[in-house]
Structure 1
Amino acid sequence: MAEAKQVVTRIAPSPTGFMHIGTARTALFNWLYARGRGGKFLLRIEDTDRQRSTPEATQAILRGMAWLGLDHDGAAVSQFGRVERHAEVAQELLSRGAAYKCFSTQEEIAAFREAARTEGRSTLFRSPWRDADPATHPDAPYALRIRAPREGETVIDDQVQGTVTFRNADLDDMILLRSDGTPTYMLAVVVDDVDMGVTHVIRGDDHLANTPRQSLIYAAMGWDLPVYAHIPLILGPDGKKLSKRHGATGVEEYQKMGYPAAGMRNYLARLGWSHGDDEFFTDAQALDWFGFDGINKAAARFDFKKLENLCGQHIAGAEDSDLLREILAFLKVTGAEIPTSEVQELLLCGMYCLKERAKTFPELIEKAEFILSDRPIEPDEKAARSLDAEARAILGELTPHLQNASWSRNGLEDAVARFAQDRDLKLGKIAQPLRAALAGRTATPSVFDMMLVIGQDETLDRIRDIVGHPAT
């Protein structure tokens, strides 16, 4: 029994702009499939479009992959750096009779198609040079075209789309090498996949139509076809192609919006793939569960509410130290000020109460303002309304009770409860001004959590600042 090949997948983005969220989802599927089977996941930069490819876009791809935690094996491969190898294969196809020289000019091809449209005929170009006697070849530039079959069918067994049949009469003799000697994308992709040992091609179903044409190169060179899995595209909430009008489409935009990478991975995995009714799952579970049988044929719709819900669950369940590292990375990419080491220690100490119900890092940081703010705390307009003269007097009377309290959750709760009982006050009458004094805002963690995190001295100092400041 032959030993099974090691699984090798790849992602091959073009560096012509930001890394699209759809490309990230395709990368994730490839990563999950390979890593879950002990295989390799490779990265190839398809930078043959020299006019549109930029180093900045390549760096954006690398940053996006790194943020999502999609590590790849070995160095990234530059497709442009392999043009000589692509041309070599094209010449091999020519020598085998699987390709031919076409001397038709762009003007001649354009004229043919215009006439075909006018007469209502197929615009599929049939080169007059396909079966021409080499003795009749002019001394002129030529392209190399593959000799596609004209009859019969090409059948592709796809792991997601099933058996897909294409009429060979609808296939053109696609160009392999242009007249300037540069290889086309269709040739380069096949050669690179073969040379990189790719066993499984997992890509968007917009590439399905390319597959029968690319399979001709495999067959002509005697190469084994990879396993194909064409996955559904991602649509916006309205069912139309995901675009800027729906919101962010670039991976780095989501990082700057403060979504945690683990939540993003979870959500992207659920876009077009499912494991029963499971919505929330860990990386370990996704690696264990992911397979072609769970991928849907239908396009997936992006839902920001579901993304936020999953991200909130991942924030709540994350290790505090991991959360702090990711928050600091978020602050860095957004150009925000990085807290001092002392403040970072307080953030870590208070993470247990900061991460509750936070769906994004900006929401978590908003709750952490009582840690990030320096004295004297400046209450916002809403918080200031709870700091009238009566409220300040209550805080003044509360101060000695806090000075003598045991600085623990139970100790603080007991001290405040006894004070409220002695003054016949409801807890809210004390908590609201106390919250405003400690944080300067009304949406915060519990006042007891805040006091525990910033400590007794800082708590009393903040109250004294407010009590000694006359109400306006």
Structure 2
Amino acid sequence: MSVRTRFAPSPTGYLHVGNVRTAIFNWLHTRHVGGAFVLRIEDTDRDRSQKEFEDAILRELKWLGLDWDEGVEEGEHGPYRQSERHQQGIYRRALERLREQGDVYPCFCSPDRLSADREADRRAGRPPRYAGRCRAIPRRQAEQRMAAGESTVLRFRVPEGSMVFEDLIRGSIHVELEQVGDPVVLRSDGWPTYNFAVVVDDIGMAITDVIRGEDHISNTPRQVLLYRALRAAPPRFAHLPLVLGADHAPLSKRHGDTSLRQYAAHGYLPEAILNYLALLGWAPHDHGEVLSREELVARFDLRKVGKSAGVFDRAKLDWVGNQHLRHSASARLAELALPFLQSCGDLPPEATPFHRAWVERLMDLLKESISHLSQVPESDAVRMVLHFDLESLRRDPDLQADLREASSREVIQNFAKLLPGDRPLDVETFRRISQETGKKTGAKGRGLYHPIRVALTACGSGPELVRLVPLIEEAAGLDLPHRVPGCAERAALAARLLGGDL
């Protein structure tokens, strides 16, 4: 039997870390065994479902690289939106079958009555369940009340006894059916409820494996009974452990924005997000932590998913993000980083090939030290290259103390005199002039390069000068929103400043 899984989000908001992890586990399992991955949209919540959210879900899954074999765009088991399936009468026909079998009955209990029952259960220390008040209403009487316009829902008759269902992660789960209660399958507005609709959809789409969060375990007995009533074999179930915040509480809005779109907007690479979330609750047999999409598919084993909750650790995500940046081509990263530099005004809206080449060189430097691309405009390298501010020396007491030393002043003044003012400074020339400055002044090591660094960057620490100098010189020759001085001009300004009063 070919494996068929589904990811079925509701378009009532943006994808968040928890349901993205569920989508990833479904996708990895399906791709590992060579099955079919189905995307279904569960939009029966008419008040909250929005096209904007559905579009975002599709866009973000594609960004993450989770392709689907069937879904809202095409497929032979459609339609794949529950609203469209409702319009085609798919749920109504399934309900008629249950009605003919006597498996459903109308319930006339008011919301106030049901609320009072739940409160009574709570006070008695019992789990809330429907008391079965309308179960025994004669059919003719029920039909008369419905004909009179009395508000009603349809409930499914849960049989007496107990049941056991198998979970691929948790093993056998035993349930006493008296604790389940008769679930509503059709609301008073004529729309199916979640538990009924998903069963009908999974049967119609031939889903074999249902992989979802452990918060759905309580729904599973009701759904298994509905499968049986509809004369269909239940799928295999696998309930994933929850995703917790750093405080080990269930991940929620109080942990901040945990939507996938937030991490995409911050410039995390999609393969880093995929890698990190795939390891929340599962680990490969060799305990590798930095894995490509292909490696994740090859190694994923649903049977190895743990029962313990995974903790969403932003610091660990940042580490994984950095590892993937390090192994990415700088040309690709330059294209991804370009919008961040443009949005903050560091680069013009229309970037030329020269701008792109400069950003590629910048990413050669930065990808070793950042975890996501929104850090590029805030990086020390960008500040030193594009926002040179020699006046900041007056505000830094430590640098002032360093530069008051006669040896530091001598290094900067000699270095400035030796720099060629008629052509850009290349790395070899920078090294030669630095060495000549050392010979003239007797300075070496930190005593030589620290003053030169201050003169060229207005900072006391940062990336290697041999990597910054080309960036400075190239930026000085670009058409940028604000002027960038080259190395010779910077050194001359520093020498003049030192000739005055710091």
- The answer to whether the superposition gives a TM-score over 0.5 is yes
The partner residue of 1:102 within 103, 107, 112 is: 107
Which residue in the other structure is 1:416 paired with? 434
Please say which of residues 95-104 and 363-372 is displaced more in the overlay: 363-372
| Offset of residue 278 of structure 1 | 1.7
Hey, what's the Cα distance between the residues in 2 that align with 1:285 and 1:26?
A: 18
| Offset of residue 186 of structure 1 | 1.0
| Offset of residue 150 of structure 1 | 1.2
| Offset of residue 458 of structure 1 | 4.4
Which residue in the other structure is 1:352 paired with? 364
Which residue in the other structure is 1:78 paired with? 81
Counterpart residue type for residue 132 of structure 2: S
Q: Are positions 1:309 and 2:312 aligned together?
A: no
Q: CA 1:404–1:62 in structure 2 vs 1: closer, same or farther (change >3 Å)?
A: closer
| SS of equivalent residue, structure 2 residue 58 | helix
Hey, what's the Cα distance between the residues in 2 that align with 1:282 and 1:46?
A: 31
Q: CA 1:47–1:395 in structure 2 vs 1: closer, same or farther (change >3 Å)?
A: farther
TM-score (normalizing by structure 1): 0.86
Q: For the Cα contact (< 8 Å) 2:380–2:462, is it kept in 1?
A: yes
Gaps of 5+ in 1: none
TM-score (normalizing by structure 2): 0.81
Which residue in the other structure is 2:205 paired with? 196
| Offset of residue 187 of structure 1 | 1.0
Hey, what's the Cα distance between the residues in 1 that align with 2:184 and 2:206?
A: 24
Hey, what's the Cα distance between the residues in 1 that align with 2:52 and 2:437?
A: 61
Which residue in the other structure is 2:406 paired with? none
Hey, what's the Cα distance between the residues in 1 that align with 2:121 and 2:456?
A: 77
Which residue in the other structure is 1:13 paired with? 9
Q: For the Cα contact (< 8 Å) 1:11–1:44, is it kept in 2?
A: yes
Gaps of 5+ in 2: 73-79, 404-408, 478-483
Which residue in the other structure is 1:257 paired with? 266
Give per-residue Cα distances to partners, 1:91-118, cap 9 Å, x unaligned: 2211222222333343443454555666
Q: CA 1:33–1:326 in structure 2 vs 1: closer, same or farther (change >3 Å)?
A: farther
The partner residue of 2:171 within 162, 173, 185 is: 162
Which residue in the other structure is 2:386 paired with? 373
The partner residue of 1:396 within 416, 428, 432 is: 416
Q: CA 1:307–1:396 in structure 2 vs 1: closer, same or farther (change >3 Å)?
A: same
Counterpart residue type for residue 348 of structure 1: E
User: Number of residues paired by the alignment?
Assistant: 463
Q: Are positions 1:279 and 2:289 aligned together?
A: yes
Hey, what's the Cα distance between the residues in 2 that align with 1:99 and 1:44?
A: 26
Q: CA 1:278–1:383 in structure 2 vs 1: closer, same or farther (change >3 Å)?
A: farther
Q: Are positions 1:88 and 2:93 aligned together?
A: yes
| Offset of residue 447 of structure 1 | 1.3
Q: For the Cα contact (< 8 Å) 2:358–2:475, is it kept in 1?
A: no
| Offset of residue 207 of structure 1 | 0.5
The partner residue of 1:340 within 351, 357, 360 is: 351
Q: CA 1:446–1:114 in structure 2 vs 1: closer, same or farther (change >3 Å)?
A: closer
Q: For the Cα contact (< 8 Å) 1:370–1:450, is it kept in 2?
A: no
Which residue in the other structure is 1:126 paired with? 131
| Offset of residue 370 of structure 1 | 6.4
| SS of equivalent residue, structure 1 residue 340 | coil
| SS of equivalent residue, structure 2 residue 319 | helix
Q: For the Cα contact (< 8 Å) 1:346–1:454, is it kept in 2?
A: no
Q: CA 1:446–1:148 in structure 2 vs 1: closer, same or farther (change >3 Å)?
A: same
Hey, what's the Cα distance between the residues in 2 that align with 1:317 and 1:372?
A: 24
Hey, what's the Cα distance between the residues in 1 that align with 2:350 and 2:454?
A: 22
| SS of equivalent residue, structure 1 residue 45 | coil
Q: Are positions 1:297 and 2:291 aligned together?
A: no
Q: CA 1:255–1:436 in structure 2 vs 1: closer, same or farther (change >3 Å)?
A: farther
Q: CA 1:166–1:329 in structure 2 vs 1: closer, same or farther (change >3 Å)?
A: farther
| Offset of residue 358 of structure 1 | 2.0
| SS of equivalent residue, structure 1 residue 36 | helix
| % identity of equivalent residues | 33
Counterpart residue type for residue 208 of structure 2: T
Hey, what's the Cα distance between the residues in 2 that align with 1:119 and 1:310?
A: 49
| SS of equivalent residue, structure 2 residue 263 | helix
Counterpart residue type for residue 64 of structure 1: E
Q: For the Cα contact (< 8 Å) 1:383–1:440, is it kept in 2?
A: no
